[in-house]
């Protein structure tokens, strides 16, 4: 561990959090093709504005460039990646070999996920794996790092991968009362950081965080609150009505709807919606900063990476620390 100066992984994200800064991560969705230029362009937009960016892993069960492949391009473009890994597409052999390969290619952060069910995506006929679950994946990655052993218990001879290990939690998933305990289980599994599902219902999130703080879980793991700019009232309604486990209050939907009132020109209307979405997002970030136990935010601007620098500027989160 000596060459890491006491850090678990030495990643920028780890250093920022350890130094006590309010951390910011964003999301970079790889393309549905083999064009590395798309990743380079998106990385160029985010570079310097966030501490690290999650590279999604076949998100919503739709085939995209791999998280490792796109992550390497982001890394080479000067943006620190958070490699995402779901339990849907690989068994423990595939996962560990990708962890070894990803580390060798420069990955230092990982987010461990169950993965959206494949019936949502573009290959609903496929077989899913779920050999291990996301909690067990956290344990496995921590084992590679802290015990230098594979999941089977076999010792890793030579360099072992030392990731800064993340997990997700949906504060609005049910059963609501169980969620803080499940977060505690993720901390117990050895997670270093947590990124939450998108938050729009702040009072309910406060209630969740109060329980998390009462359990002392916020002292065991850095919690990054998930926020994101809405593009249209339709997107807000869709998330409110159609996405399981999402909680978008009516007042947010109403604000988005009101933003376009009286504007005839379609382009101007779209711009007004986006502006309101950005405004809500910045307000959410300010509210998150006030909540005890929150160590940063994770900005999910899906297919709208350009929004991130604007949000960061307006939220007063620039320049980013260089720990």
Sequential DSSP letters for 79-95: --EEEEEESSS--HHHH
Q: According to CB under 8 A, which one of 106, 121, 173, 309 is a site residue for another protein?
A: 173
- In the complex, the smallest distance separating the C-beta of residue 320 from another protein, rounded to whole angstroms, is 28
User: Of 73 and 87, which has the nearer Cβ to another protein?
Assistant: 87
Long-range pairs for 182-186 at CB < 8 Å and ≥24 separation?
183/212, 183/217, 183/221, 183/223, 184/212, 184/215, 184/217, 184/220, 185/135, 186/134, 186/135, 186/138, 186/221
Q: According to CB under 8 A, which one of 31, 47, 131, 211 is a site residue for another protein?
A: 131
Query: Taking the chain, what is the end-to-end CA distance rounded to the nearest angstrom?
Result: 19
User: Of 70 and 132, which has the nearer Cβ to another protein?
Assistant: 132
- In the complex, the smallest distance separating the C-beta of residue 112 from another protein, rounded to whole angstroms, is 12
Residue 85-124 contact track with another protein, rule CB under 8 A, x = bound? --xx---x---------------------xxxx-xx----
- In the complex, the smallest distance separating the C-beta of residue 120 from another protein, rounded to whole angstroms, is 8
Q: According to CB under 8 A, which one of 10, 36, 40, 181 is a site residue for another protein?
A: 181
What separation in angstroms does the CA of 202 have from each of 28, 161, 206, 248, 285?
A: 25, 37, 6, 10, 10
- Number of chain positions touching another protein (CB under 8 A): 36
- In the complex, the smallest distance separating the C-beta of residue 75 from another protein, rounded to whole angstroms, is 28
Identify any residues that bridge with 53 across adjacent strands, giving them in sequence order.
26, 81
User: Of 49 and 205, which has the nearer Cβ to another protein?
Assistant: 205
Are the CB atoms for 273 and 279 separated by under 8 Å? Answer: no
Q: How far apart are CA 183 and CA 171, in angstroms?
A: 9
Are the CB atoms for 120 and 60 separated by under 8 Å? Answer: yes
- In the complex, the smallest distance separating the C-beta of residue 274 from another protein, rounded to whole angstroms, is 27
Q: Which residues bind another protein (CB under 8 A)?
A: 87-88, 92, 114-117, 119-120, 128, 130-136, 139-140, 151, 168-170, 173-175, 177-178, 181-182, 185, 188-189, 197, 244-245
């Amino acid at each position: 561990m000596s060459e890491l100066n006491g850090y678990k992984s030495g990643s920028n994200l780890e250093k920022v959090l350890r130094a006590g800064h309010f951390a910011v991560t964003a999301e970079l969705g790889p393309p549905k093709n083999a064009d590395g230029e798309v990743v380079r362009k998106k990385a160029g937009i985010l570079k310097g504005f966030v501490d690290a960016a999650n590279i999604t892993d076949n998100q919503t069960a739709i085939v995209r460039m791999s998280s490792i492949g796109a992550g390497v391009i982001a890394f080479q473009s000067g943006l620190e990646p958070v490699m995402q890994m779901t339990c849907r597409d690989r068994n423990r052999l595939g996962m560990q070999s990708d962890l070894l390969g990803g580390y060798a290619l420069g990955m230092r952060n990982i987010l461990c996920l169950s993965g959206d069910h494949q019936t949502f995506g573009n290959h609903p006929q496929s077989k899913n794996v779920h050999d291990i679950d996301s909690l067990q994946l956290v344990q496995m990655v921590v084992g590679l790092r802290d015990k230098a052993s594979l999941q089977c218990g076999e010792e890793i001879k030579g360099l072992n991968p030392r990731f800064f290990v993340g997990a997700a939690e949906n504060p609005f998933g049910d059963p609501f009362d169980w969620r803080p305990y499940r977060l505690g289980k993720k901390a117990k599994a050895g997670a270093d950081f947590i990124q939450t599902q998108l938050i729009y219902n702040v009072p309910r999130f406060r209630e969740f965080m109060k329980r998390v703080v009462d359990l002392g879980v916020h002292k065991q793991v850095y919690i990054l609150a998930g926020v994101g700019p809405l593009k249209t009232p339709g997107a807000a309604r869709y998330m409110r009505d159609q996405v399981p486990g999402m909680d978008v209050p009516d007042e947010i939907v109403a604000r988005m709807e009101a933003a376009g009132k009286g504007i005839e020109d379609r382009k101007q209307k779209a711009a007004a919606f986006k502006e309101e979405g950005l405004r809500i997002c910045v307000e959410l970030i300010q509210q998150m900063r006030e909540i005890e136990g929150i160590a940063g935010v994770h900005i999910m601007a899906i297919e709208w990476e350009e929004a991130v620098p604007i949000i960061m500027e307006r939220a007063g989160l620039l320049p980013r620390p260089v720990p």
